[in-house]
Structure 1
Amino acid sequence: MPQAAALQPDQPWDRSAQVEALKEADVDVLVIGGGASGAGVLLDALSRGLSAALVDRQDFMAGTSSRSTKLIHGGVRYLEQAFKTLDYGKYNLVREALAERKRMLQMAPHLAWPLTLVTPVKSLIGLPYYRMGLGLYDFLSGSERLGKSRIESKSELKRACPSLNIRPLKGGVSYMDGQFDDARFGIAMVRSAIEQGGYALNHTSVESLIETDGRIAGAHCKDLIGGQSLTIKAKAVVNCTGPWTDHLRFMANPGAKPVMTVSSGIHLLIDQNLLPEGRGILIPETDDGRVLFMLPWLGKTLVGTTDDAAELQDDPTASDKEIDYIIKHMNEWLDKPISRDDISATFSGLRPLVSDPDEQSTSGLSRDHVILSDKGMISLTGGKWTTWRRMAEDCMDKVVKDAGLKAGPCRTHNARLPGANGDETVARQALAELPEDIADYLWQAYGDRAHLVLRQGSSERLVEGAPYIQAELNWALNFEGACKPDDVLKRRLRVGMLDEQAASRIRDRLIPLLQAA
């Protein structure tokens, strides 16, 4: 089966045509799971000249990939562990992640940007300790360095976060990492794949796997929107289902050794402007040994996270206990405490924790992702958002070798995502007549395609005082594959992750559009 027809930026994403094409299909690579890993594998396969399709039982990025801490990081904690244990594997992880951090920032500058993080320090010995460690982080960054770490005075800390209780502090240390809009970055990845001739269907379940001569060779699927049955045969099947990895592995091989456990991490969105300078705060260790963040994010303050054992579920939510935990531990560092009344939204994500059943070395893994094979089905699991591209490359290298595919080399190293191919100054000219907050928001969300969004309808605000506009609803449904209210509100506009009350008001205007689609 050849690749689908490539789309131009102003061409709609015709989901029904993709469903029709996949009713009886034969592709080189079938990817199951539409988070960061799955979308990355789809892009990588297409870059090698292969035909590829992706299916996901929920929406693209609906799980862990849209519920992260929104950081693109090299792994400061990995570096600390490498230093303490002389673990060369973790040292390499940091270097690799720093290179991938730079690639993400270049791939979509409107969706990913540098961020200064400040670490408050309570002891005099802590200042040189953190400064030395972050200085090494600077050194390892090399040409990928975003800025230089430095010691901050108590007054500088107070300016960064006026609510911070500086009385017990000796100062702080600042350094730079990256931040991004995780869901929109992921949706841009999938849209890019569609434009390159790939197939991608959200809300499409895998009912059973196809096995030929002892090898997994495709899947029987069901479109949960229209009810159609799909038979997708493939030379290679890749499992990118994150926390659900073992579930699909057991479908392929009931005797497979389980490798997955999950924990939950929650985040709070705070209405208060706790970080007026746009710099984040990293609390390196609470009294129970956890790391906490306060980060500026899309006009709110993002606070998190927890790390507790969890059960598998499609849509985890933050419990009262978890919310109280975050509030309690953040207030230990603030002299202007936050309360539940300050919370505009919460979200919870499942963190996939993986062990490699074949790993024998006591020196640790050379990567923080694991690639497994069950009857020829390749499972890619573990890892983190920052290294999605390298994970996909490693995975597809194995897929090509194991399946004997005729493929070119990976060509994602210098890729650009939709919205990142034009000049910002020129692109913003099309937004010049809009209110400043709407223009800034549209640029951040859509980059140089913001003018295409405006063509889809009115620039009327959907909610008074917020930058979301009517045209975005049509764009999400027709150009970004959205099918259900939460697809639009949580992963296209992001209002559902930022302000639950505003999302509820927009939902009423969205329902008629979905019914007419």
Structure 2
Amino acid sequence: MENEKFDIIIIGGGATGSGIALDASSRGFKTLLLEKNDFAEGTSSRSTKLVHGGVRYLEAAVKKLDKDQFNLVKEGLKERSRLLKNAPHLCSRLTLVTPLYNWWEIPYMFAGLSLYDFVSGKRGLGRSSVVSRGKMMDTFPHIKKSGLVGGIKYYDGSFNDARLNVTLLQTAQKYGAVCKNYHELESFIYDKKKISGVKVKDTISGENITYNSSIVINATGAFSDNIRKLDDKEAKKMLDLSSGIHIVLDKKYLPSNEGLMIPKTQDGRVLFILPWMGKCLVGTTDEKTTLNEHPEVSKKDIDYILEHLEIYFDLKIDESEILSSWCGIRPLVAAPKNASTKSIVRDHIITSSNSGLVSIIGGKWTTYRKMSEEVVDYVIPKFNLADTECKTKKLKLIGSENLKENIKIKTVDKDIKEYLIRMYGDKALEVTQSVEKIKRLHKEYALTNAEVVYTIKNEFVKKPLDFLVRRTTLSLIDKEASKEILEEVLSILQKELNWDEEKIISERNEALSILNNYI
């Protein structure tokens, strides 16, 4: 493919880049996507797993009569509806409850969440309602009972971010896109001071490759400013970075399938306590940060979350009970001086440099599709491409195209079948057919050897943590369990990718280093 001419080259394989690849390829443009690490290795696999309009933004919109905040909520709710329809195996309705400890908060919160329902309109997932104190204690047995007066129930969306990311790429491939992970941008190629291509390095083989296109889109999230400065040393900062951590606890702390939303902690942040992948997910923090390829979870942030859990739960949770934790960096559009990151409207900006590099700055998972549409709409007239309409509004993603049909998988245990359909949708049967004999990888989880083989052949897996962290998310819900099956995963990778012993040792050491230090 070296020196091959593409209509569009996209740098960055997270939510935004993958969405752009699908939008562009489905319109018929010859598209190449390049990612330095694994797809969704950064921010895009480290979200709070919510597809939402943003209750917090709606409150700010009403209080400040801020039309921008209101439109952000409205757009988010519209995209929430589309995502739940286009990838129903990965996205679902989630019930959330806000516990209240003052009587006056009940009418205030109910009015606010009823407005959230109203803005949702026909796309609403259910009507908000008041929950009695007794019902709160039945549903959440560990909740702080002293002073509890009740709660307000509302509905939003939940999703598997890392799997959605790879599903977008698979669907883009179906439309002809070429998607490559572990391909690092080294420099741009110019013709008369205009970008005409890119030089990249395959970080696995070490090969240097050139790809040609006059349209290069920078969709690298937290790294967007770095890529802009690679093109123009004088490029001004457009990003503010914020770190957010999540911790995972045993399901016993949240035995129901309903989550809790704490709208305002002591310092004004939002805290979610959510059911996710059979565990209890808690997050997130919001701190200004600097760019780091592997952001670490700080003890300060862990302590912050545990302290707030003590405020809302009648029990003390020890740090040793944390099954996994991770830190993500949010790319926010740069705010005015002295503004806190939690006050920034998480919108996005599309811009281009003098050389023609197009960059998309900011955004969030829920609106990835709309952002992608806007980027492609932006480049069509700018670069005189054929004017074609966006096709992604009702485009079913891989795994959801034949999901209504009964998927007959008779050769596996019931929990494995349910897990495979939830993760792979209508491709579940195809996963089981990847090996002659299906073998469970861990006694407590539904992962199998068939998944490893399938994801190597169909989902761009090239390293053990591609599978353990992002294709199955096991490392994000139980780090120790993922370490226990690491050798089995390495063995399958060795067989499928013809690794020698030196490669096995190198990959093992790299995987353990990341698991021990960053998850």
CA deviation after TM superposition for structure 1 residue 75, in Å:
1.2
Partner of 1:360: none
Partner of 2:339: none
Q: Among 193, 197, 211, which residue is 1:218 paired with?
A: 197
Q: Among 390, 397, 403, which residue is 1:417 paired with?
A: 397
- Residues 386 and 504 from structure 1, CA distance in 2 versus in 1: closer, same or farther, beyond 3 angstroms? same
**Secondary structure in structure 2 of the residue aligned to 1:376:** coil
Q: Among 390, 395, 401, which residue is 2:370 paired with?
A: 390
Pair 1:434 & 2:401 matched? no
Q: Among 70, 73, 83, which residue is 1:104 paired with?
A: 83
CA deviation after TM superposition for structure 1 residue 320, in Å:
1.7
**Secondary structure in structure 1 of the residue aligned to 2:214:** strand
User: Is the CA contact (8 Å cut-off) linking 1:111 and 1:184 kept in structure 2?
Assistant: yes
Could you tell me how far apart the structure 2 residues matched to 1:274 and 1:418 are? 34
User: Is the CA contact (8 Å cut-off) linking 1:159 and 1:277 kept in structure 2?
Assistant: no
CA deviation after TM superposition for structure 1 residue 242, in Å:
0.5
Partner of 1:379: 359
CA deviation after TM superposition for structure 1 residue 356, in Å:
7.9
**Secondary structure in structure 2 of the residue aligned to 1:379:** strand
Could you tell me how far apart the structure 2 residues matched to 1:366 and 1:264 are? 16
**Secondary structure in structure 1 of the residue aligned to 2:152:** strand
Partner of 2:349: 370
Partner of 1:488: 467
Deviations 1:189-218 (A, max 9, x none): 011111211101001000101122222222
Deviations 1:29-53 (A, max 9, x none): 0000000000011111112111010
Q: Among 428, 437, 448, which residue is 1:450 paired with?
A: 428
Could you tell me how far apart the structure 1 residues matched to 2:403 and 2:364 are? 30
User: Is the CA contact (8 Å cut-off) linking 1:49 and 1:407 kept in structure 2?
Assistant: no
Partner of 1:315: 294
Say what the alpha-carbon RMSD is for the aligned residues. Answer: 1.6
Query: Where in structure 2 are the equivalents of 1:467-486 lying within 5 Å?
Result: 467-486=446-465
User: Is the CA contact (8 Å cut-off) linking 1:31 and 1:55 kept in structure 2?
Assistant: yes
Could you tell me how far apart the structure 2 residues matched to 1:298 and 1:109 are? 16
CA deviation after TM superposition for structure 1 residue 424, in Å:
4.2
Partner of 1:8: none
Count of equivalent residues: 488
- Residues 356 and 249 from structure 1, CA distance in 2 versus in 1: closer, same or farther, beyond 3 angstroms? farther
Query: Where in structure 2 are the equivalents of 1:319-338 lying within 5 Å?
Result: 319-338=298-317
> What stretches of structure 1 move > 6 A for 4+ residues in a row?
364-367
- Residues 366 and 267 from structure 1, CA distance in 2 versus in 1: closer, same or farther, beyond 3 angstroms? closer
**Secondary structure in structure 1 of the residue aligned to 2:328:** strand
Could you tell me how far apart the structure 2 residues matched to 1:414 and 1:272 are? 35
Deviations 1:271-319 (A, max 9, x none): 1422222001011111122111100000000011111122211121212
Q: Which amino acid aligns with 1:435?
A: D
In terms of mean alpha carbon deviation, does 160-169 or 59-68 score higher? 160-169
Could you tell me how far apart the structure 2 residues matched to 1:91 and 1:261 are? 22
User: Is the CA contact (8 Å cut-off) linking 1:272 and 1:342 kept in structure 2?
Assistant: no
User: Is the CA contact (8 Å cut-off) linking 2:332 and 2:346 kept in structure 1?
Assistant: no
Q: Which amino acid aligns with 1:475?
A: Y
User: Is the CA contact (8 Å cut-off) linking 2:93 and 2:125 kept in structure 1?
Assistant: yes
Could you tell me how far apart the structure 1 residues matched to 2:191 and 2:346 are? 32
Give the unaligned 5+ runs of structure 2.
337-342, 498-519
**Secondary structure in structure 2 of the residue aligned to 1:210:** strand
Q: Which amino acid aligns with 2:362?
A: G
Deviations 1:154-199 (A, max 9, x none): 1121222111012222111110000000000101001111121110
Partner of 1:57: 36
Pair 1:139 & 2:121 matched? no
Pair 1:166 & 2:145 matched? yes
Could you tell me how far apart the structure 2 residues matched to 1:68 and 1:233 are? 33
Pair 1:30 & 2:29 matched? no
CA deviation after TM superposition for structure 1 residue 57, in Å:
0.5
Q: Which amino acid aligns with 2:57?
A: Y
User: Is the CA contact (8 Å cut-off) linking 1:192 and 1:418 kept in structure 2?
Assistant: yes
- Residues 366 and 161 from structure 1, CA distance in 2 versus in 1: closer, same or farther, beyond 3 angstroms? closer
Q: Which amino acid aligns with 1:382?
A: G
Partner of 2:240: 261
Deviations 1:97-148 (A, max 9, x none): 1110001101111100000110011111111111001111111111100000
Q: Which amino acid aligns with 1:414?
A: K
Pair 1:122 & 2:101 matched? yes
Deviations 1:418-470 (A, max 9, x none): 1101144511x22x442221111111100111000001123211011211011
Query: Where in structure 2 are the equivalents of 1:5-84 lying within 5 Å?
Result: 21=1, 23-84=2-63
Query: Where in structure 2 are the equivalents of 1:231-246 lying within 5 Å?
Result: 231-246=210-225
**Secondary structure in structure 1 of the residue aligned to 2:281:** strand
Partner of 2:154: 175
Could you tell me how far apart the structure 2 residues matched to 1:72 and 1:433 are? 34
Partner of 1:361: none
In terms of mean alpha carbon deviation, does 369-378 or 199-208 score higher? 369-378
**Secondary structure in structure 1 of the residue aligned to 2:4:** strand
Could you tell me how far apart the structure 1 residues matched to 2:195 and 2:348 are? 22
User: Is the CA contact (8 Å cut-off) linking 2:196 and 2:213 kept in structure 1?
Assistant: yes
Query: Where in structure 2 are the equivalents of 1:346-361 lying within 5 Å?
Result: 346-355=325-334
Give the unaligned 5+ runs of structure 1.
1-20, 358-363
Partner of 1:401: 381
- Residues 506 and 199 from structure 1, CA distance in 2 versus in 1: closer, same or farther, beyond 3 angstroms? same
**Secondary structure in structure 2 of the residue aligned to 1:280:** strand
CA deviation after TM superposition for structure 1 residue 346, in Å:
0.7
User: Is the CA contact (8 Å cut-off) linking 1:48 and 1:407 kept in structure 2?
Assistant: no
Q: Which amino acid aligns with 1:92?
A: N
Deviations 1:206-254 (A, max 9, x none): 0101122222222101111112221111121100000100000001111
User: Is the CA contact (8 Å cut-off) linking 2:346 and 2:362 kept in structure 1?
Assistant: no
Could you tell me how far apart the structure 2 residues matched to 1:330 and 1:475 are? 39
User: Is the CA contact (8 Å cut-off) linking 1:160 and 1:278 kept in structure 2?
Assistant: no
Pair 1:247 & 2:226 matched? yes
Partner of 2:256: 277
Q: TM-score when scaled to structure 2?
A: 0.92
User: Is the CA contact (8 Å cut-off) linking 1:424 and 1:447 kept in structure 2?
Assistant: no
| Greater relative contact order (Cα < 8 A, sep 6+) | 1
User: Is the CA contact (8 Å cut-off) linking 2:403 and 2:425 kept in structure 1?
Assistant: no
Q: Which amino acid aligns with 1:146?
A: L
